[in-house]
A and B are shown apart, each in its own frame.
Chain A
């Protein structure tokens, strides 16, 4: 079992809709959870992090964490074509950050 798992997609969402990205992790001791966005040919950039169970909102983005289920999600409201990218879930274990394979998201105008 991979340490951090994501559906590779592609996930196609119409413009203006809500995009939902999911991630599961295997290490129950993980404390910190991150979502990075990576445009094609570019480097990953951090868009959100979450430490506690529940929801964390930042503009159009909401991160959700459920430690009991070992599940992290990212919701993007009012999706825009500029949100089309690969979204990487990352989980901080004892020492280092472990990344999932990423989910490719396409927003259709």
Chain B
């Protein structure tokens, strides 16, 4: 199994630009999670999906953030417009129906200048 795949691994962009992060979960997993990790706030859950449907987006910081899961093998997290305070590592994770064991992708390191 290839594990959770994320792209890009690194992204440097300028303030105001649109950023799109991508995730391919482990095949057969029903749950997909997007997290953000910073030194100040630690690992925060942004949103999670069950069977491609968003279940809880209460962690999404503001309207500039949006996430979609058009099918079971692909999800995107979009930031538009990006701001320097969005700089962080964004992780995607997936799990099977028990939600217990989450497998994390390698993360996308985002730097907004």
Contact partner of B45 among A34, A88, A96, CB < 8 A? A96
Could you tell me which residues of chain B, from 68 to 104, have a CB within 8 Å of some CB in chain A?
91, 99-104
Interchain nearest-CB distance for A82 vs B (Å): 19
Task: Say whether A25 faces chain B, with CB atoms less than 8 Å apart.
Answer: no
Per-position 1/0 for A30-54, Cβ under 8 A of B: 0010100000001111100100000
Q: For chain B, give the interface size range.
A: 10 to 19
Interchain nearest-CB distance for B102 vs A (Å): 7
In the bound complex, what is the Cα–Cα distance between A44 and B35 (angstroms)? 11
> Contact between B91 and A43 (Cβ–Cβ < 8 Å)?
yes
Task: Say whether A18 faces chain B, with CB atoms less than 8 Å apart.
Answer: no
Contact partner of B56 among A32, A45, A95, A99, CB < 8 A? A95
Report chain A residues within 8 Å CB of B48.
96
Report chain B residues within 8 Å CB of A45.
104
Task: Say whether A98 faces chain B, with CB atoms less than 8 Å apart.
Answer: yes
Q: Smallest CB-CB separation from B6: which chain A residue?
A: A43
Q: Please list 19 pairs of residues, one from A and one from B, whose beta carbons are closer than 8 Å in the complex, sorted by A's number.
A: A34-B100, A42-B106, A43-B104, A43-B105, A43-B107, A44-B43, A44-B91, A46-B102, A49-B100, A49-B101, A92-B99, A92-B100, A96-B48, A97-B45, A97-B99, A99-B42, A99-B43, A100-B42, A102-B42
